[in-house]
Amino acid sequence: MEDTVFSEVKKMLRFRVFCLISIFILTACTRDAAVPEEKVKKEKNEENIVVTADGKITFQIFNTVKVPQEKVESIKEELLDGYDDVQNSIHTNYAPSERINVFLNKGNQASWGLRSELKLYSVKENQYPLVHELTHSLLGYGNNFDSDMGYLTQEGFATYMEDKYGKQKSHSHKIMKYFFDINKTVPISKLIDLNQDDAYFRPPLTNQEEYTLQWMSYIHSVSFVTYLIDTYGLEKFEGVYNKEDLASKIEEAYGKNISEIENDWIAYVKESQTELTYGDKLEMRYFYDAAFVIDQIDPKYFTRE
């Protein structure tokens, strides 16, 4: 009898042990099949990370606008190509961040390029100025992304790079001819004056006049910078990019004072450019809205002193 009871107890213990082992194995397998959340996050992050060929900069993309992964892959290629294009342009003493976060955002606000992040808008519409903002991040802006050195060369060159390598074209020379023809131009001396340039490049943007004046200032800067580069080369422009006392630096680099070289630029644009066609204006989308507002801007912004 005792042997029988003992035998039954042994069977019961064996069964319980078997069940415990089975549960352990099943749990382990289930965990492996589900994949730990940390691993999923890591793999997801790796999908959105790209490193430059020279290993100097890592871009991490944050797809907050939730575009398809194919679009993210396309932006990776744009970042790598843009990096190479900027690296092969001018050189500065600025050391960019080793890691730059790239945020793909909703809406159509102005994009930004800062030391360690790019904020890109209008991504779904394919109208984001990636090369422009990347130029800021890689070459520096002011002393520490401030306005200490003004805006003209920095915004002018970033837009020049976007025109040359990016998707958003400024049509700057053609539009400048239009401004000259209607006598609505901003003196370069005002655009480089540290006491006045905020009103042009960084107005409060509380009304359409301020938006239009800012747009006009960017067009002036890229047209002027493009003229300098196309006429005198990148090496000379490198000597004036993001420099304080810009008027003196321009005279030192080009052998002409700011007024003389401005007159050369004006003459070049007037002689080399044709008038905007109806098709040109339609292609720009924003042209007619801006043209309507220009006459409402306070004339003081265009007055030569």
Cβ–Cβ < 8 Å for 191, 302: no
φ, ψ of residue 68 to 5 degrees: the values are -60, 155
Query: Of 290, 300, 88, whose CA–CA distance to 200 is shortest?
Result: 300
The pTM is what? 0.85
- pLDDT reported for residue 266: 98
What single-letter DSSP state applies at residue 126?
Answer: T
Parallel/antiparallel/unpaired status of strands 117-120 and 112-113: antiparallel
- pLDDT reported for residue 38: 52
d(CA 252, CA 53): 37
Neighbour tally for 267: CB within 10 Å:
10
Query: Of 46, 43, 96, whose CA–CA distance to 73 is shortest?
Result: 46
Contacts of the segment 294-298: beta carbons below 8 A, 24+ positions apart: 294/182, 294/184, 294/212, 294/216, 296/208, 296/209, 297/184, 297/209, 297/212, 297/213, 298/209
d(CA 51, CA 76): 9
Q: Which regions of the chain are under pLDDT 70?
A: 1-46
In tens, the pLDDT along 156-204 reads 999 999 999 999 999 999 999 999 999 999 999 999 999 999 999 999 9
- pLDDT reported for residue 45: 52
Cβ–Cβ < 8 Å for 188, 258: yes
CA 136 from chain centre, in angstroms, equals 7
